[in-house]
Structure 1
Amino acid sequence: MQRTWLISGISSGFGRSMAEQLLAVGDRVAGTVRSLSSVEDLQRRYTDQLWVTELNLDEMGSIREVVDSAFSAMGKIDVVVSNAGYGLFGAAEEATDEQVVHQIHTNLLGSIQLVRCALPHLRIAGGGRIIQLSTVGGQAAFPGASLYHASKWGIEGFIDSLSREIEVFNIGCTLVEPGGARTQFRYGSSRIGPRLPAYDVSPASMARQMIEAGTAVPPGDPEKMVARIIESASQIPAPKRLVLGTDAYTAMHQQLAQRLAELELQRDQASSTDA
């Protein structure tokens, strides 16, 4: 059965791979990009299946118009994939104020608005699926990624709460939490703040060194990861989280277990403040 997808950020990475896999099997895709020239080849190959428009998620005022136009053009959209985003790395103090604002606007506020704007369409249609791209960094934290974590932990809290608000409308939500993948994310779209030499002795410097060296090869196969994401859209009920990659599973398991152990130690203290 042919499905229709709205996917933000189809010019590269997971978004591009997802669009290619879906179009190849006959599904329809409404995609957003920052520049239409980045997907000219797809537009030529899939004239009748692909609708594309430009969108920058940090421009909040244009998101509703774009989403409304996508639903109008496609008639019905079954799955909304909030994929666009990037990573800002380095110590929190190293980032400029402008970089901080742009990171939060793009990854958090832009993603929230994209989903919010799609909700009335899905609700009126009687259901649908929302897939939000997060990261292992949405559940596990590492030095040198504090601002990226802020955006992803924020979007995870939003989706977790939202899923309970809208399940009554037959709309399911899934958070995708991939580990390192061989896409352009790490060495192409990622950004780092101006270097502060004081942080050379901090663990935060490791993130900068990794990105500047550009030699470490992430373990994840992006094509396989995307295939698992596409498959998740058919699962009923929608999986709350989709962990992709042994590195993601290991890091999340370790840090969640540590957080639970620390919580257990505070059982008596917590109850001591009850009336």
Structure 2
Amino acid sequence: MNNVWFITGSSRGLGRSLTEAVLANGGRVAATARHPEQLADLVAQYGNLVLPLALDVTNAAQITEAVAAAVGHFGRLDVVVNNAGFGITGAAEAYTEEQVRSQLETNLYAPIAITRAVLPYLRKQRSGHILQISSIGGRIGNAGVSIYQAAKFGLSGFTEALAKEVAPLGIRVISVEPGGFRTDWASASMTFAPTIADYTAVNQRADYFASGDFVPMGDPAKAAQVLLDLVGHPNPPVHLVLGSEAAAFLEKADADRKAEFEHWLPVTLSTDHDEAGNFLDTPMGKLYLNNKVDHNASASSTGHLLSNNRAD
């Protein structure tokens, strides 16, 4: 594997695991971090196969410089991973204005900005993958993480729409949606809103995270291997859920949404104009039907993708 990867937040957590896995498998990495000196051990081991780059993902000028430096050093980009981010918990009304803005700037605006910066290069190549590290919190809502999940819902939605835009150009865009993984997301990287006593359930979640007792299900090294395999897959998904926790959450949420949708469907349909016909027969309906990304892998190929990640 000789792909060139551009990975944000590569000094710790999933970003670090992925950077190590790519290099160990013969890839090259433009590894960005706020403090790239934390990657010195990888430079010592892999030399010019890894390019550490200083990047604050909320700094537009640094984004442009980092992308240009990566292309200048390696000559191309094959896989872009928007991984940098952090969590926050608390009641929606309790967050400070700075906390709200920093969540949206880091977890939503930054990956959009980086994606827009790399697209001209990938479009010219007519190839490439963009992996957006979103969250199962981009598919379901939970009390206590409303602002974090607002950013992740936005990122997952942006990814789904973008995947349809760029598929004809040979570019694959995937929303990776993990549950809890054994990184520092819920510990050193977690921030907290001021406490409002009335929000008992929210405060219990915050106390649980702060206690250090939360032990996530997911293994970041296994997730990294899945992402390595993913970029070699001929028909990757638009949304990839990772972890049994995430799968359980999503199955429950999908069932609840379906039941609610079907219950209220008569009201939904009652608002059409009396002269409206079948939406799918309209020009917009036909455009919708044609604007799909066929990233549904066959059972056999999906099994091959996951076979390397099963416990013996």
TM range, smaller chain: over 0.9
> Is 1:27–2:4 an aligned residue pair?
no
Partner of 2:162: 162
- Farther off after superposition, 257-266 or 243-252: 257-266
Deviations 1:157-201 (A, max 9, x none): 1111000000010001111111111111110111111222232x2
* Partner Cα separation in structure 2 for residue 49 and residue 111 of structure 1: 24
* Partner Cα separation in structure 2 for residue 87 and residue 161 of structure 1: 24
* Partner Cα separation in structure 1 for residue 137 and residue 187 of structure 2: 17
Partner of 2:231: 233
Partner of 1:50: 50
Deviations 1:30-82 (A, max 9, x none): 11100122111111111120011111112233212221221122101111111
- Give SS of 2:250's match: helix
Structure 2 length as normaliser, TM-score?
0.85
Partner of 1:118: 118
> Is 1:261–2:259 an aligned residue pair?
yes
Q: Which amino acid aligns with 2:59?
A: E
Please say which structure displays the higher CA radius of gyration: 2
* Partner Cα separation in structure 2 for residue 151 and residue 61 of structure 1: 22
Partner of 1:85: 85
Deviations 1:102-122 (A, max 9, x none): 110000000100111010000
Partner of 1:130: 130
CA contact (8 A) 1:145 1:207 kept: no
Partner of 1:108: 108
Partner of 2:70: 70
Shift, 1:260, TM fit: 1.6
Partner of 1:205: 203
* Partner Cα separation in structure 2 for residue 236 and residue 190 of structure 1: 36
- Give SS of 1:95's match: coil
- Farther off after superposition, 56-65 or 157-166: 56-65
- Give SS of 2:7's match: strand
Of 230, 233, 250, which aligns to 1:252?
Answer: 250
Structure 2: 5+ residue runs without aligned partners? Answer: 274-312
Which portions of structure 1, spanning 4 or more consecutive aligned residues, are displaced by more than 6 angstroms? none
Shift, 1:89, TM fit: 0.9
Partner of 2:7: 7
- Give SS of 1:143's match: coil
Shift, 1:274, TM fit: 1.1
- Give SS of 2:188's match: helix
Partner of 2:277: none
* Partner Cα separation in structure 1 for residue 28 and residue 62 of structure 2: 23
* Partner Cα separation in structure 1 for residue 61 and residue 100 of structure 2: 19
* Partner Cα separation in structure 1 for residue 125 and residue 193 of structure 2: 44
* Partner Cα separation in structure 2 for residue 37 and residue 197 of structure 1: 42
* Partner Cα separation in structure 2 for residue 13 and residue 197 of structure 1: 32
CA contact (8 A) 2:197 2:203 kept: no
Structure 1: 5+ residue runs without aligned partners? Answer: none
Q: Which amino acid aligns with 1:225?
A: A
Q: Which amino acid aligns with 1:35?
A: H
CA contact (8 A) 1:8 1:82 kept: yes
Q: Which has the higher contact order (CA 8 A, sep 6+)?
A: 1
- Give SS of 2:31's match: strand
Structure 1 length as normaliser, TM-score?
0.96
RMSD of aligned residue pairs (Cα, Å): 1.1
* Partner Cα separation in structure 1 for residue 109 and residue 119 of structure 2: 15
